Amino acid sequence: MISKIYYSILFVLISFYSSAQVLPERERAVVIDEILADRFDTLLPMLMDRTVIDMWVVISREYNEDPVLRTMLPSTWLNARRRTILVFYRNKEKNTIEKLAIARYNVGKSITSAWDKEKEPDQWKALVDIIKERDPQKIGINYSDNFGLADGIVRTDYNAFENVLPQKYKDRIVSAERLAIGWIETRTQLEMQYFEQLVDITHDIIKDAFSADVIEPGTTTTDDVVWYLRQRVTDMGLETWFHPTVDIQRNEEALPSHIESFSNRPEGKVIQKGDLLHCDFGITYLRLNTDCQQHAYVLKEGESEAPSYLVNAFKDGNTIQDILTKNFKTGKTGNEILIKSLQEGRESAYVPAIYTHPLGLYGHSAGPTIGMWDSQGGVPGTGDYPLFENTTYAIELNTTVTILEWKKDIRIMLEEAGFWGSNGFKYVSGRQEKLLLIE
């Protein structure tokens, strides 16, 4: 077991490089608000035009926030306040967009207060007055059968809203599903600059975790590495959005089932020389999230590189990534991309499984689902949503490879952040193409 003193010294020594990339809280707040203002001014009008919704009403209450509203709050608001009602009104002819809050105060610098409680004590009536004055043709509300992130309005708020709305406007209520998804899934140019840094930090932390500085074969356990990852992130002033995992594949042990791999991994196994290690790790920074899976090999005595059969197996994983990402095409649904990629992989004698998901403001974000590990025939609903440009994904998949030298199958499990834009697909900041080596 690595001592606590050793860990403390280690954090100080090897956190220096990555910590230098992480902004202090006060500077982060400036960046978050800059990104948010850019999204409101440049992205939101385009999305409202694309979805033909001229008014978007987002209603939420403190500690029970709509997932969309959480992404719209300024840096200094960690939660909604009381009942927070936001109204976005798009006048395409005049090329204007109003960003209003039916609240007693502005919501940051981008959203202006439009309610004087002393003149009109009833918040709902104040909302209706805003609607009447603008006479929108479609009023988008966040409800959705398939996308939880676009289904943020609760029954109480929906009923209260509908009860005060004149019948004329009740008939104009539509689901804002595609507008909400578009808001969550679309990345701006400014966001991508910081997203690349976030991916670099993620890669750096994994590289440090899968090194001789942290792992001593015969002593260090998978739990030790997991908690190193958690502590490292905390010490850098960042957060993980899910608990990391570290697991082992080795010569004398059978390949676990997908259920065991994804939900019942053995804990606390001692890492030995000759092990193939795998981690699943993601962090949150500037309201963006990463999700990354990489592999490392623990060298045996006398080895200076991984055995060729593991090197080749890893290349198979990269090949499945290439097959998948070459099938990305704007307008294609997640299910269409999934089926075509699996077919091509199998026709080339691979044994792939693909479970790629949108990534960005949330880890498992909104947008086209491209398979789930237990739904390789397609995913109804979320898999039927099409691919749009300027969106990011966790390219998550695996391929099963028979290792004759071990007389068993192994699974190469990879996950990297990727971007789809007008110039096609690219990894946000590269991908793993070689096994990490631990001496």
With the C-alpha atoms ordered 14, 2, 250, 344, is the resulting torsion angle positive or negative?
Answer: negative
Quote the pLDDT of residue 15. 44
Q: Residues 370-387: pLDDT tens digits? A: 999 999 999 999 999 999
pLDDT of residue 17: 43
| DSSP state, residue 414 | E
Model pLDDT, residue 7? 41
pLDDT tens readout for residues 138-147: 999 999 999 9
Cβ–Cβ < 8 Å for 100, 84: no
3-state secondary structure 118-160: CCCCCHHHHHHHHHHHHCCCCEEECCCCCCHHHCCCCHHHHHH
The whole-angstrom separation of Cα 119 and Cα 80 is 23
Assigned token pair, 17 = 């490089």
Pairing of the two strands 352-354 and 391-403: antiparallel
Q: How far is CA 232 from CA 13, 209, 235, 257, in A?
A: 11, 9, 5, 30
Say if residue 304 is exposed, middle or buried (CB neighbours under 10 Å; 0-12, 13-18, 19+): exposed
pLDDT score recorded for residue 116: 86
Coil, strand or helix: which one is 166?
coil
Given a cut of 50, the residues of the chain with pLDDT beneath it are 1-20
